[in-house]
Structure 1
Amino acid sequence: MFSRKTNSQFLSSIDVLYVDGTFRSVPKFFHQLFTIHGLNSSHCVPLAFFLQANKHQTSYEDVFRYTFAEAAKLGVSVCPTVAYADFETAIHKAARTVWPGCEIKACCFHLGQSCWRKMQSLGLSKQYGQKDSEVSQFWKKVFGLSFLPPAEVGDCFAYDFISHLPNDRR
């Protein structure tokens, strides 16, 4: 873990964490650089950095437990009530294991990235770029689902989307 005592102390004072990994700026022999961020005066501040050899659930659990242990050495605890992460299942499971009372949420940015990768894998990116295509209209509505209250998503999908599915069934 790369961090400072003041960062660990700050981690103990916040309820919401943001976690993410990057693969582009990682040293040789490591798989990813995993970071934990927090909000300070409406600014997202990186607080802890971890070099990881893989993306396994146990590795993320080790990261979260180590963060907790380092804070404990300072006489404080890291017990977030909410953690934002991408759509990687291993991160979600690890956070739930280490912090069972923590609500795990995914952010709109990562939802957009995930949907875009899916469109590309299905060969739909060209159609998405055509503003009047059925595919484009459908996916724009899908992106908008994340802005609805969770209780309304199912009905919106069932009543508003199913009747307007694109003819291209990819």
Structure 2
Amino acid sequence: MDGTHSTAPRQFAQLFCIQVPLGKGHATAAYGLLPGKQQEHYKEFLTVILDACLREDVRPSPSTVIIDYETAIHNAVLSVILSQNIKIQGCFYHLTQSTWRRIQSEGLQALYREDEAV
């Protein structure tokens, strides 16, 4: 699951996507235009998706959900997907983004680029 802010139409805060395993890769199963990044927005979106699945007699039961590090989405997943065994895993891409932003905010990007020991 992931959200992107730059591609969302102006009246929305983000375009949120759910991808699922398919064969040797993944496929996007759902898109949602969300008005914000609050826990209630994520919960409502996930509930709508799960209700649609149930109407089609599909019962998703993921063992692992890979998402970014927002507490709101973590809490929403845990409250909507009622599985005791679900594992929330942080996204490596978002971790590296966050690390690079921190390096920049500390003014260390030149040192990082120029000194192999850093």
TM-score by length of 2: 0.91
Pairing 1:112–2:96 present: yes
Contact 1:67–1:78 (CA<8 Å) still a contact in 2?
no
TM-score by length of 1: 0.64
Contact 1:35–1:46 (CA<8 Å) still a contact in 2?
yes
Q: Which runs of 5+ in 1 are unaligned?
A: 1-18, 137-170
Give how far 1:96 is off: 1.0
Identity %: 32
Cα RMSD, aligned residues only:
1.3
Give the aligned residue type for 1:109: Y
Q: How many residues align?
A: 116
Q: Which runs of 5+ in 2 are unaligned?
A: none
Match of 1:37 in 2: 19
Q: Which residue, out of 15, 18, 21, partners 2:3? A: 21
Structure of greater Rg: 1
Q: Runs (4+) of structure 1 moved beyond 6 Å?
A: none
Relative to its length, the structure with more helix (as a share) is 1
Match of 1:158 in 2: none
Give how far 1:82 is off: 0.8
Give how far 1:132 is off: 2.9
Relative to its length, the structure with more strand (as a share) is 2
Give the aligned residue type for 1:122: E
Give how far 1:87 is off: 1.2
C-alpha separation between the residues in 1 aligned to 2:66 and 2:74? 9
Pairing 1:126–2:110 present: yes
Pairing 1:72–2:65 present: no
